[in-house]
């Protein structure tokens, strides 16, 4: 089934995509070439946007050395209040370079301009302002202890930076997730070496200009480009002078990084994959629920770790929800990211499209009923080489299906009926992943009760993707290790030293 013709927009010529150029690695204040270049392909139309320099071992060594050297500069002794002021200045420069960041993010990802303007770039600035506030008010333990000899002792903790942190970020929300990690890392006084996805190199590199413009000392922020195995990713995670690794991406890559850091017992923070469930009860506010499910299934073409891929619907409203979600899927508009009517962009690459399409085929072989989508949309000659797929919904599957058990990371979800609350909880928790869940009900007691029984790091009730940056963010099982957000981020990016003074 193809999408309605009125929902298709032509890519046209007015896309504001930057002209072809080169992206180099960033070491201190220098742009450094790599051992070879590779093409960054625009997922919208298959054209080559830029050529990117892949970092070899020597470039990674230079970047780590520059980061290490910065830790003996005034950066290491900079007062917390001064660092907080610098974070706010970075946020201000992000606002000043707003249009540049928008253009770079669209060129890399193909996501709709409206989404980039409303989510990705504003959130990048907000991340720095939020952690400037958090570090400014953060405290540590202190205890006054009475001793048996009548004296006392004062124990207090001081916060020290972790050191050189490897920051490895994915392609789905490249600027947002980079700044989500970078802001607390800098707030704690660390130096970073960033390895962006090979699919989205632009905003991480542009951020180096912003850092310099804001006054960040040389060497505190470095960028190396490349891939994973036998490339920048492996060289960085196995580097002996890297003190910690934070990573967002696939669970299998997280396992590989864990093996790499194990011999030196370095701390890691992983936010990995998800196979997130939504539980829709018959007493839900149907309009609000349909709005929420449409976002949670299809936002960013389903390429968000928190997106919903399993929707469990109580049987009395099952057919109604299926019908209304199908209608919403057909109303999504695929096309030119610069067109204000566009709601849905392409997948990130042809390689990822092959993966998603393989699950479309698998669903059919497993007996699914494809109620909408299930293929490649016809968007015209300008877009035929892009990584497009149709927003897709299935019925007729259950938890034994691979499509229901394995992460797809695309605009697709299985709709499955249930009868009782206990059955819904059991099915939702029947997964090796544990990142997020959403519960839709007007029964407040049920909402609290069910959400607390979800085996996930985050559970929403009657909403989705609503975040307070002070709250813990992360998953369990194959969805990750550790938590970020608020004080949880500060705990990862710093080491406390306890000082004991007998009085």
Q: Are residues 434 and 487 in the same domain?
A: no
Q: Are residues 193 and 301 in the same domain?
A: no
User: Residues 156, 140: contact at Cβ < 8 Å?
Assistant: yes
| 176 in a structural domain | yes
Low-confidence ranges of the chain (pLDDT < 50): 1-19
Q: Give the per-residue pLDDT at 8.
A: 36
Q: How many CA atoms lie within 13 A of 97 on its CB side?
A: 21
| 123 in a structural domain | yes
Looking at the whole model, is its pTM more than 0.75? yes
User: Residues 211, 183: contact at Cβ < 8 Å?
Assistant: no
| 4 in a structural domain | no
| 2 in a structural domain | no
Provide the CATH number for the domain around residue 325: 3.40.309.10
Q: Are residues 211 and 326 in the same domain?
A: no
- Give the Å distances, CA to CA, from 410 to 14, 98, 304, 360, 399: 27, 28, 8, 10, 19
- Give the Å distances, CA to CA, from 226 to 24, 229, 233, 241, 268: 11, 10, 7, 19, 21
Q: pLDDT tens across 167-207, in order?
A: 999 999 999 999 999 999 999 999 999 999 999 999 999 99
| 3 in a structural domain | no
Structural domains counted in the chain: 2
Q: Which segments of 29-153 does DSSP mark as H helices, in order?
A: 57-70, 74-77, 80-96, 98-109, 113-115, 121-137
Alpha-carbon gap, residue 130 to 265, rounded angstroms: 30
Q: Are residues 399 and 436 in the same domain?
A: yes
Q: Are residues 196 and 290 in the same domain?
A: no
Beta bridge partners of 165: 192, 244
Catalytic residue numbers, as ranges: 271, 305
Q: Are residues 489 and 436 in the same domain?
A: no
Q: Are residues 283 and 231 in the same domain?
A: no
Phi, psi of 478 (to 5 degrees): -70, 0
Q: Are residues 294 and 223 in the same domain?
A: no
Q: Are residues 65 and 210 in the same domain?
A: yes
Q: Give the per-residue pLDDT at 78.
A: 93
Q: Are residues 338 and 239 in the same domain?
A: no
Domain that holds residue 489: 11-272+478-502
Q: How many CA atoms lie within 13 A of 78 on its CB side?
A: 26
Which letter does DSSP use for residue 119 in this model?
I
Provide the CATH number for the domain around residue 79: 3.40.605.10
Q: Are residues 386 and 429 in the same domain?
A: yes
Q: Are residues 110 and 172 in the same domain?
A: yes
Q: pLDDT tens across 111-125, in order?
A: 999 999 999 999 999
């Amino acid at each position: 089934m193809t999408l309605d013709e009125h929902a298709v927009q032509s890519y046209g010529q007015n896309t504001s995509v930057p002209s072809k150029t080169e992206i180099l690695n960033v070491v201190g204040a220098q742009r450094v070439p790599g051992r070879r270049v590779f093409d960054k392909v625009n997922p919208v139309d298959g054209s080559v946007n830029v050529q990117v320099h892949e970092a070899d071992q020597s470039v990674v060594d230079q970047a780590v050395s520059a980061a290490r050297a910065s830790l003996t500069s005034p950066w290491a002794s900079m007062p917390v209040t001064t660092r907080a002021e610098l974070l706010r200045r970075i946020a201000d420069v992000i606002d000043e370079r707003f249009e540049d960041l928008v253009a770079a993010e669209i060129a890399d990802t193909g996501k709709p301009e409206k989404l980039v303007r409303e989510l990705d770039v504003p959130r990048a600035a907000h991340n720095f302002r939020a952690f400037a506030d958090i570090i400014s008010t953060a405290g540590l333990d202190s205890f006054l202890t009475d001793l048996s000899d009548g004296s006392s002792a004062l124990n207090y903790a001081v916060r020290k930076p972790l050191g050189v942190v490897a920051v490895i970020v994915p392609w789905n929300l490249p600027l947002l997730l980079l700044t989500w990690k970078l802001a607390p890392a800098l707030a704690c006084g660390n130096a970073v070496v960033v390895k962006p996805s090979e699919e989205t190199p632009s905003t991480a590199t542009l951020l180096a200009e912003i850092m310099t413009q804001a006054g960040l000392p040389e060497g505190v922020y470095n960028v190396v480009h490349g891939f994973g195995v036998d490339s920048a990713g492996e060289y960085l995670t196995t580097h002996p002078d890297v003190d910690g690794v934070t990573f967002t991406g696939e669970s299998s890559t997280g396992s590989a990084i864990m093996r790499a850091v194990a011999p030196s017992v370095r701390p890691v923070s992983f936010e990995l994959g998800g196979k997130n469930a939504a539980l829709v009860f018959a007493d839900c506010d149907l309009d609000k629920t349909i709005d929420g499910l449409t976002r949670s299934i299809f936002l960013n073409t389903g390429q968000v770790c928190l997106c919903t891929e399993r929707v469990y619907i109580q049987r009395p409203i099952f057919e109604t929800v299926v019908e209304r979600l199908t209608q919403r899927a057909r109303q999504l508009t695929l096309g030119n990211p610069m067109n204000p009517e566009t709601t849905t962009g392409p997948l990130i690459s042809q390689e990822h499209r092959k993966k998603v399409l393989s699950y479309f085929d698998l669903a059919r072989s497993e007996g699914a009923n494809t109620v909408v989508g299930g293929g490649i949309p016809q968007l015209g000659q300008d877009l035929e080489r892009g990584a497009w797929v149709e927003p897709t919904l299935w019925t007729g599957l259950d938890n034994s299906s691979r499509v229901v058990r394995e992460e797809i990371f695309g605009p697709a979800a299985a709709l499955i009926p249930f009868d009782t609350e206990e059955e819904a909880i059991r099915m939702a928790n029947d997964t090796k992943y544990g990142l997020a869940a959403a519960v839709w009900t007007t029964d407040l007691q049920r909402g609290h009760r069910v959400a607390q029984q979800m085996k996930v790091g985050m559970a929403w009730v009657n909403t989705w993707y609503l975040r307070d940056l002070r709250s813990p963010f992360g998953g369990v099982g194959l969805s990750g290790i550790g938590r970020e957000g608020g004080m949880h981020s500060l705990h990862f990016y710093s080491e406390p030293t306890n000082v004991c003074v007998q009085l």
